[in-house]
Amino acid sequence: MIEMQDVWKTYPDGTHALRGITVKVDSNEFVYVVGPSGAGKSTFMKLIYREERPTKGQIFVDSFNLAKLKKRKIPYLRRNIGVVFQDFRLLPKLTVAENVAFAPKLTVAENVAFAMEVIEAPNKLIRKRTAEVLELVGLSDKRNSYPAQLSGGEQQRVAIARAIVNNPAVIVADEPTGNLDPETSWGIMKLLEEINYRGTTIIMATHNRDIVNTMRKRVIAIENGVIVRDQQRGDYGYED
């Protein structure tokens, strides 16, 4: 599913974020990526959905060879990858600078449907899939609410619904519970596990010790840009 061969990433400012990563993740795996802040976790995640290019090395995701992937083909890679962030990234996120009156306001259902609209899926399918995934994340009754009216956990569910609505092969989740309290976090983890059972590969970067130690999965630990540990049913291994 995902394969990296001696991947190096050096940023223009000279930071060596990754230094020779070789790893293979099979279909249907659930992988935690752990490590101290600034160790290269985020870079590792960004390489998968081609937000960043490796300086050196080969990356394969699904049937895509990322080193050879042309820029205008990136959208087609992304359609196979669902991305979830710590800050949810729903629409709208109104800042003071934005004009509140005219900013597009999307409901929960519209936020999810958005991901299908922009890849020009047929309207009928959009309605059907949106209803399905909202049911799956348990937000059918909130479909016409606005994200601002929801709790953090609910907003993250909307973000997850949006990430899976196009049936991606992989979910890349960068600290999805980072902004949530422990109880809510467990709900999100149950949801991700459920999605994993249904056949989606999940790569999740996290700092959450309890979750890693309780819901045992494969653990990849990155420090100073190299993989220092790769262990099935591993533990978190750091004192917070």
Partner 1 sequence: MKISTAGRHLREGFRSMVRNGWMTFASLSSIGISLFILGVFVLLTTNVNYIAEHVESQVEIRVYLSLEIDEEREINRVQNQIGMMPEVHKITFVHKDEGLKILEKTLGEDWVEGFQGDSNPLPHSFTVEVKNPEEISIVAKNIEALNDIMQPVPIDEVDYGEGTVEDLFAFSNLVNRVGFVLVIGLAITALFLIANTIRLTIMARRREIGIMKLVGATNGFIRWPFFIEGACIGLIGAAIPLGVLLYGYYRLIESSKSRMNFMSMIELKPLDEVALPLIGLLMGLGVAIGVFGTLLSVRKHLKV
What residue ranges bind partner 1 (CB under 8 A)? 49, 72, 75-79, 83, 89, 91-93, 98-99, 102-104, 114-115, 117-120, 123, 162, 166
Work out how close the CB of 150 gets to partner 1 at its nearest, in angstroms, rounded to a whole number. 17
Which residue is it, tokens 């999940």?
Answer: 202
Work out how close the CB of 38 gets to partner 1 at its nearest, in angstroms, rounded to a whole number. 23
Q: Which residue lies nearer to partner 1 by CB, 77 or 215?
A: 77
Distance of alpha carbon 191 from the chain centroid: 13
Q: Which residue lies nearer to partner 1 by CB, 117 or 181?
A: 117
Q: Which residue lies nearer to partner 1 by CB, 103 or 228?
A: 103
Sequence-ordered strand ranges (E) for the chain: 2-10, 16-25, 30-34, 56-61, 64-65, 81-85, 170-174, 201-205, 218-223, 226-231
Q: Which residue lies nearer to partner 1 by CB, 78 or 229?
A: 78
Q: Classify residue 218 as exposed, middle or buried by CB count within 10 Å of its CB (0-12, 13-18, 19+).
A: middle
Could you give phi then psi for residue 230, rounded to 5 degrees? -140, 110
Retrieve residue 158's tokens.
Answer: 């909307």
Retrieve residue 32's tokens.
Answer: 């935690």
One-letter identity of residue 191: L
Work out how close the CB of 135 gets to partner 1 at its nearest, in angstroms, rounded to a whole number. 20
Looking only at the bridges linking them, the beta strands covering 64-65 and 56-61 are antiparallel
For residue 78, give the H/E element and its range. helix 74-78
Q: Which residue lies nearer to partner 1 by CB, 76 or 238?
A: 76
Residues 221, 226, 231, CA angle at the centre, nearest 5°? 30
Work out how close the CB of 67 gets to partner 1 at its nearest, in angstroms, rounded to a whole number. 20
Work out how close the CB of 93 gets to partner 1 at its nearest, in angstroms, rounded to a whole number. 6
Q: Which residue lies nearer to partner 1 by CB, 179 or 231?
A: 179
Work out how close the CB of 227 gets to partner 1 at its nearest, in angstroms, rounded to a whole number. 26
